[in-house]
Amino acid sequence: IEIIQPLSDVTAKEKGTATFTCKISKPDVPVTWFTNGNKVEPGVKMNISKDGNTHTLAIEGLKPED
């Protein structure tokens, strides 16, 4: 498995949404997202999605500590 499109830095405003996207070489490989060493679980603030081999994490309602 190779990373075709790595993560890049994102700038977003407070109360906005930060979206992170990566693309890997195979479509049916599970991806686990981490922030500050902690596994990200989908929920009200964290939206995890997949389209083929493109994986996206959107963090909504940003606060300064995010």
* Alpha carbon distances (Å) from 28 to 4, 51, 52: 15, 10, 7
* Alpha carbon distances (Å) from 30 to 34, 35, 66: 13, 17, 25
Q: For the chain, give every domain's residue range.
A: 3-59
Confidence of residue 63 (pLDDT cuts 50, 70, 90): confident
- Give the C-alpha separation, 66 to 54, whole Å: 23
What pLDDT, on a 0 to 100 scale, did the predictor assign at position 1? 86
What pLDDT, on a 0 to 100 scale, did the predictor assign at position 15? 92
Q: Does the domain formed by 3-59 have CATH 2.60.40.10? A: yes
What pLDDT, on a 0 to 100 scale, did the predictor assign at position 53? 92
Read off the pTM.
0.84
What pLDDT, on a 0 to 100 scale, did the predictor assign at position 64? 82
* Each residue's pLDDT tens digit, 14-57: 999 999 999 999 988 889 999 889 999 998 889 999 999 999 99
CA 24, distance to chain mean position in Å, is 13
